[in-house]
Structure 1
């Protein structure tokens, strides 16, 4: 199993990482409607979703492997006068008790591992989520250019290491198809799985595809 590696945020200049994703607006409203209270921002990065969810009235906990990222979020939360529990942690070993959260939001983060690591991460998510609790996660698609055609070195049949200069250099990326998702989330009731292509971003053509997944932890 590969060792977790933090993003190098000094090499990331795109302002998108300070803005809530489109999906977070819908998920926040959905979770408010369901009276969900405690939310874990899983691999929070600079904190764009932690700040947004906290402003929506959720009790937010957040963690990231990067100290630079969590320091940024701490300063941001202080400026916004928001109470967010912020920790440095590895997603392979979460510093939370069992059944701690009503919901987990993991946006473009749990793919940063290999085939063994993803099972460990999902087990950890399941451990800290209450029965019936909800998850919203994204996973990299095997239909993406970066998996099929880029020629990145492979760690295993599902995982490549990105070698381009930038914040993700040297970080593993795990890719799935629909059957892989159904296998990985066998303990969950899946509400929806969307397969989305980013075909143009920041002035460039792309072929970057991700799965966007809503599910709840099944009663054992």
Structure 2
């Protein structure tokens, strides 16, 4: 694994530094922690952090990374539709690039879980692909525009209507092409 793959994304840095600065430590969770790079960043910022991932390999990689840097991580192999946490346990949640891999029923269950484990006033940062992505409508579908679920703005507002505030930004990027690009919604929720 390269050293660059351990760096947190700029978007996560902005989310954490913008929303979790009033006191020294918040309870945060990375719900698709991958190799643990975002958990490492949040732990270094002084927060209490938990992580989940559905992949055994990712859980093991994250544990190795965080242990190597002197942390005793709480990382659990879990699915977004059944999270192993108490109600209203977290001040903040990260859920990058995961909701788009769920079918409609799983998506609704996962959103219910996000709402359940987030404290009132808590914030959640989510990234998903949107229908402006050049991959939209290029693959096989399992449901209406699903294998990677490409979201519309209206759908985001409908799915997250239980949250007090839903803010949507857009990130569009390309690598080595002027015609092929990814387009993501950057969603910040407040419970």
Same fold (TM > 0.5) = yes
* Structure 1: gaps (5+ residues): 1-12, 161-172
CA offset at residue 34 of structure 1? 3.8
Q: TM-score, normalised by structure 2?
A: 0.91
CA offset at residue 196 of structure 1? 1.6
In the alignment, structure 1 residue 155 sits paired with structure 2 residue 129: no
The answer to whether the 8 Å contact 1:102/1:130 transfers is yes
The answer to whether the 8 Å contact 1:190/1:213 transfers is no
In the alignment, structure 1 residue 189 sits paired with structure 2 residue 164: yes
Q: Label 1:179 to 1:15 Cα distance change in 2 as closer, same or farther (>3 A).
A: farther
Aligned to 1:117: 106
**Which region of structure 1 is more displaced relative to structure 2, 186-195 or 72-81?**
186-195
One of 134, 155, 161 as aligned partner of 1:180: 155
**Which region of structure 1 is more displaced relative to structure 2, 184-193 or 113-122?**
184-193
CA–CA distance in structure 2, aligned partners of residues 14 and 112 of structure 1: 26
* Structure 2: gaps (5+ residues): none
CA–CA distance in structure 1, aligned partners of residues 104 and 6 of structure 2: 30
Listed as ranges, the matches of 1:78-97 within 5 Å are 78-97=67-86
Aligned to 1:208: 182
The answer to whether the 8 Å contact 2:160/2:166 transfers is no
CA offset at residue 57 of structure 1? 0.7
Aligned to 2:10: 22
When the two chains are superposed, the root-mean-square deviation of aligned CA atoms in Å is 1.8
The answer to whether the 8 Å contact 2:115/2:163 transfers is no
Q: Label 1:93 to 1:16 Cα distance change in 2 as closer, same or farther (>3 A).
A: farther
Alignment partner of 2:97: what SS? coil
CA–CA distance in structure 2, aligned partners of residues 104 and 119 of structure 1: 17
Q: Which runs of 4+ in 1 moved over 3 A?
A: 13-17
Listed one character per residue, the Cα deviations across residues 11-56 of structure 1 (whole Å, up to 9, x for unaligned) are xx78764321111111121133243600010110111111111111
The answer to whether the 8 Å contact 1:63/1:89 transfers is yes
Aligned to 1:40: 29
Q: TM-score, normalised by structure 1?
A: 0.80
Q: How many residues align structurally?
A: 189
Which one scores higher on RCO, CA 8 angstroms, separation ≥ 6? 1
**Which region of structure 1 is more displaced relative to structure 2, 109-118 or 180-189?**
109-118
In the alignment, structure 1 residue 135 sits paired with structure 2 residue 124: yes
Q: Label 1:64 to 1:33 Cα distance change in 2 as closer, same or farther (>3 A).
A: same
Aligned to 2:63: 74
CA–CA distance in structure 1, aligned partners of residues 82 and 122 of structure 2: 19
CA offset at residue 187 of structure 1? 1.2
Aligned to 1:164: none
